[in-house]
Chains A and B, each alone.
Chain A
């Protein structure tokens, strides 16, 4: 349906009684004047062509500004007709389909081009419409119970679609607006949470592009900090199913600070979740992307800051296996970042209390670094960490050292034995083959592979 044709729907409804206490005649004229102005703003102009309709464009902007003022200066509640007209006007102006990404103009440029932010030419109007929307959702004279009829799921859902805008200014406005709507319209909260989860699911599982993940997460940072304790199951599910998988996309760097903030909010509410988060990080740990790996190490450290001993002990084995891998990274920044984890006091404390488990896990990695790592600085820090362990528990370190040597010596033998085992298995498998002679023929006795269409 075309929103523009519905432009006048608000008017026939404009007759219902205005709120009690206001003289009918006076309220009516205020209402009519307001709605008339709003209707003027329902005409959408083409900004791709700069010169076109410029007097009309200017007039609309003036009217928009005066509406901003009149909502700001309102001294009595907006009538339902006024609200309906406003929301309709927001829909007509804001809800649009974004144009495709501009293709680069020349062959040469495409190779070096970075994603430049795109600035919507119609921002001249949009900005004021957003300003008005913000005034509208924050005004004490807009009764959420009445406005809820218009600021409904479909409105919110379209608003969320706009977060994909290329224009950072628009996303910034949307962030504030969404936050206010979430605050004011309690009835919309479950829907907003669900719809935002859907955006995240799609972004992660259909490998889609989305411009507004950072902004959505920023809104959710404050939403989460407002969750009541103890956390509801639904909210924990959001952490596990929507937030943690956001670590997977390769563009995670764009929104990682906001994501980390959301996640630490959860842990502060319920420290037990730290273990869940760490297992999630390990699940999505990057294998080939060193840039991402450093970000993960950064976030890991933040989470470990908040973890308590019981949770730490539950996940330390897989965790330090992963860290040991990072220590050996041939990307020196990854290795360094991992080595610096020992500078964290809280972490160091927990490590030393669990050294009987952790040191044997990381010692081989330190030893391999000391022998083979190409980077001088990694080498130096490795030595420091090893020294630290030595000072912590000399006997343990010596035990690890001798164990490492034994393992090294055994390694070739272990590999050889693995090879022999598989070889023997292969022979056994061949020996069994006579019993299975039917199987090469089996497919032919099967029904046709593709079911025929009836």
Chain B
């Protein structure tokens, strides 16, 4: 290895590092490729470094992945866009390797470089790369080529364009399903660069072939293309070419294909416009909502609001609402849960009358659903209904649902409902809240699960913010402070945490009069964990409190703790003391 005094040969350093058996060192040096390039200068980077990299791609995939990524941003180091083409050969090789991640990254980098190249350079250098990969012997090359056509095509001359379209057509009929899948999934991107006239003829016939592929997995990707192609075509062409395909797909024997259609359908409706939607797509959608397979119904149910938004309210009431009613008592709770997560959005679409008459009973039945997820999903979107019908109508049914969720045996469910409490509080208002929910909020402070106690403390803070310090003085503070005498230290710790969260909201005076004494008192606790948490809480209170209070009350307490027999208590007490000093100095 060269010693430091000798002149450095950057390439030699790289070669040396890449020989190291420690992969981490090889990775590091690839990550610093730009340093080497800058040290070499543009010309030698082009003539020495890049050829070296082209020949040395026998490393582990992780190193190759890093190389593929670095090369994507290498244009400045080889002398700018006019020299960008020198980067293509190493990336071409990388896009043929076995490992999918490396290939994908290489294709991404090729696209990035190609997007910046000049038109004639694309013709001279980029398109040959695409053609070579597309005729590659091994399928990995052909798969990679599919992701490059949309970059190559716009700059190509007319004869080349024809050739590229033909090649793509062949890739769509490749022997290997892997290649056909890649071609199918890139078709939308490629089609976006193609002229209307060819789109209607050649591309549509390619698309037709893909939609009839005997492999499920290929047809599946063709469905994805439907919406993309639909948006490119003129509405009447879309109706003529895409609509029949999608209607067909919605009855495919593979549930995966139908599932895809259910996910994509509303986008297609946007593309074809209202008239054909009414005639063809609504029946297709209704079929999907009533599909035999729960997975398909889940996907369809999840789109119900989006779909209704592009329909007229009448159509929605007439065709979709009956299905929604059925789905609300579907045998699969996942279907009901998907429905519950979007159904609230239908209220603004349907308007007040239809909502009260038709939707409200569905909400209410979902609110009583036996599965907590379903109930939670309804509650989480409550504000949307509130805007339409007002909370009064709902509150009666709401409360039992909330109480039940608040005591659910799965702590994640309890956690979720706590997170919605501030939203509920703002929707329901102070009066309702005091009567019914206040006690629940206190009860969570003594939950068996830490995350719930933590969330409960946070919730109190948000409630105090929502309803103001005066309300909190009455309804939160006394109850919280009472619990500091709990025999279990973990619960006492929660209270300390709640205090430190509430203090900033309550302001200096209340903190000083009500909260601080409790904290100071806890510094005499027998459990060290409480004591060092006291130190932490005191530290957090310092910015809120008056300087004189800090001097008189906080500091002496901390000094005492800093002489505690327990090492952790001493540590945190000292931390807090330092923080005190810093704040005093700066003020």
Interface residues on B, range: 35 or more
B139:A201 contact, CB within 8 angstroms: yes
In the bound complex, what is the Cα–Cα distance between A432 and B334 (angstroms)?
A: 62
Shortest C-beta distance, B398 to chain A (Å), equals 22
A450:B81 contact, CB within 8 angstroms: no
Q: List 10 A-B contacts (CB under 8 A).
A: A205-B98, A205-B100, A206-B181, A321-B21, A421-B13, A425-B13, A425-B32, A436-B41, A445-B81, A446-B75
B100:A201 contact, CB within 8 angstroms: no
Nearest CB in chain B to that of A318: its residue: B21
The secondary structure that dominates the A interface is: helix
A107:B410 contact, CB within 8 angstroms: yes
Residues on A with beta carbons closer than 8 Å to the beta carbon of B35: 422, 425-426, 429
Partner of A442, one of B38, B81, B372: B81
Interface string of B211-233 (1 = CB under 8 A from A): 00010110000000000000000
| B177 lies within 8 A of chain A by Cβ | yes
B178:A206 contact, CB within 8 angstroms: yes
| A229 lies within 8 A of chain B by Cβ | no
| A251 lies within 8 A of chain B by Cβ | no
| B36 lies within 8 A of chain A by Cβ | yes
Partner of B3, one of A417, A436, A451: A417
In the bound complex, what is the Cα–Cα distance between A447 and B155 (angstroms)?
A: 12
| B10 lies within 8 A of chain A by Cβ | yes
| Those of B169-210 within 8 Å (CB) of chain A | 176-178, 181, 192-193, 195
A439:B3 contact, CB within 8 angstroms: no
Query: Which are the 5 A-B pairs with shortest beta-carbon distances?
Result: A429-B38, A439-B76, A451-B154, A442-B80, A429-B39
In the bound complex, what is the Cα–Cα distance between A280 and B344 (angstroms)?
A: 55
A421:B4 contact, CB within 8 angstroms: yes
Residues on B with beta carbons closer than 8 Å to the beta carbon of A430: 38
In the bound complex, what is the Cα–Cα distance between A427 and B25 (angstroms)?
A: 20
Nearest CB in chain B to that of A3: its residue: B253
| B42 lies within 8 A of chain A by Cβ | yes
B255:A97 contact, CB within 8 angstroms: yes
| A392 lies within 8 A of chain B by Cβ | no
Residues on B with beta carbons closer than 8 Å to the beta carbon of A445: 80-81
Residues on B with beta carbons closer than 8 Å to the beta carbon of A424: 4, 8
A417-B4, A429-B39 given; A451·B151 CB < 8 A: yes
B178:A202 contact, CB within 8 angstroms: yes
B8:A428 contact, CB within 8 angstroms: yes
| A438 lies within 8 A of chain B by Cβ | yes
Interface residues on A, range: 35 or more
| Those of B243-257 within 8 Å (CB) of chain A | 253-256
In the bound complex, what is the Cα–Cα distance between A245 and B99 (angstroms)?
A: 9
A446-B116, A453-B193 given; A438·B80 CB < 8 A: yes
Nearest CB in chain B to that of A102: its residue: B294
Shortest C-beta distance, B71 to chain A (Å), equals 16
| A154 lies within 8 A of chain B by Cβ | yes
Partner of B10, one of A241, A428, A435: A428
A453:B38 contact, CB within 8 angstroms: no
Shortest C-beta distance, B77 to chain A (Å), equals 7
B38:A436 contact, CB within 8 angstroms: yes
B21:A428 contact, CB within 8 angstroms: no
In the bound complex, what is the Cα–Cα distance between A451 and B32 (angstroms)?
A: 31
In the bound complex, what is the Cα–Cα distance between A159 and B458 (angstroms)?
A: 58
A449:B139 contact, CB within 8 angstroms: no
Interface string of A93-107 (1 = CB under 8 A from B): 000010110010101
Partner of B193, one of A438, A449, A451: A451
In the bound complex, what is the Cα–Cα distance between A450 and B25 (angstroms)?
A: 36
Residues on B with beta carbons closer than 8 Å to the beta carbon of A16: none
Interface string of B124-164 (1 = CB under 8 A from A): 00000000000000111000000000010011000000000
| Those of A404-454 within 8 Å (CB) of chain B | 414, 417-418, 420-422, 424-426, 428-430, 432-433, 435-436, 438-440, 442-443, 445-447, 449-454
A97:B254 contact, CB within 8 angstroms: yes
In the bound complex, what is the Cα–Cα distance between A97 and B296 (angstroms)?
A: 14
In the bound complex, what is the Cα–Cα distance between A438 and B81 (angstroms)?
A: 11
Most chain B Cβ neighbours within 10 Å, of A105, A436, A449, A451 = A451
Residues on A with beta carbons closer than 8 Å to the beta carbon of B154: 451-454
A157-B214, A245-B98 given; A451·B81 CB < 8 A: no
| B279 lies within 8 A of chain A by Cβ | no
In the bound complex, what is the Cα–Cα distance between A245 and B412 (angstroms)?
A: 40
In the bound complex, what is the Cα–Cα distance between A35 and B293 (angstroms)?
A: 34
Partner of B8, one of A97, A202, A421, A446: A421
B80:A99 contact, CB within 8 angstroms: no
Residues on A with beta carbons closer than 8 Å to the beta carbon of B13: 421-422, 425
| A207 lies within 8 A of chain B by Cβ | yes
Residues on B with beta carbons closer than 8 Å to the beta carbon of A108: 410
Residues on A with beta carbons closer than 8 Å to the beta carbon of B254: 97
Residues on A with beta carbons closer than 8 Å to the beta carbon of B42: 435-436
In the bound complex, what is the Cα–Cα distance between A451 and B149 (angstroms)?
A: 12
Interface string of A194-208 (1 = CB under 8 A from B): 000010011001110
| Those of B281-332 within 8 Å (CB) of chain A | 293-295, 332
Residues on B with beta carbons closer than 8 Å to the beta carbon of A414: 1
In the bound complex, what is the Cα–Cα distance between A241 and B138 (angstroms)?
A: 10
In the bound complex, what is the Cα–Cα distance between A418 and B25 (angstroms)?
A: 10
B255:A107 contact, CB within 8 angstroms: no
Shortest C-beta distance, B76 to chain A (Å), equals 4
Nearest CB in chain B to that of A431: its residue: B39
| Those of B98-129 within 8 Å (CB) of chain A | 98, 100, 115-119
Residues on B with beta carbons closer than 8 Å to the beta carbon of A428: 8, 10, 38-39
Nearest CB in chain B to that of A158: its residue: B214
| B373 lies within 8 A of chain A by Cβ | yes
A201-B139, A417-B3 given; A450·B115 CB < 8 A: yes
Residues on A with beta carbons closer than 8 Å to the beta carbon of B4: 417, 420-421, 424
In the bound complex, what is the Cα–Cα distance between A207 and B115 (angstroms)?
A: 29
B8:A435 contact, CB within 8 angstroms: no
In the bound complex, what is the Cα–Cα distance between A454 and B178 (angstroms)?
A: 30
A432:B41 contact, CB within 8 angstroms: yes
Interface string of B348-384 (1 = CB under 8 A from A): 0000000000000000000000001100000000000
Residues on A with beta carbons closer than 8 Å to the beta carbon of B115: 449-451
In the bound complex, what is the Cα–Cα distance between A357 and B192 (angstroms)?
A: 59
| B2 lies within 8 A of chain A by Cβ | yes
Shortest C-beta distance, B294 to chain A (Å), equals 8
A432:B8 contact, CB within 8 angstroms: no
Most chain B Cβ neighbours within 10 Å, of A108, A425, A430, A445 = A425
Shortest C-beta distance, B85 to chain A (Å), equals 13
Partner of B118, one of A99, A420, A436, A447: A447
Shortest C-beta distance, B583 to chain A (Å), equals 40
Nearest CB in chain B to that of A103: its residue: B334
Residues on A with beta carbons closer than 8 Å to the beta carbon of B253: 97
Partner of A99, one of B76, B214, B293, B334: B293
| B413 lies within 8 A of chain A by Cβ | yes
Interface string of B29-55 (1 = CB under 8 A from A): 000100111111110000000000000
Residues on B with beta carbons closer than 8 Å to the beta carbon of A321: 21
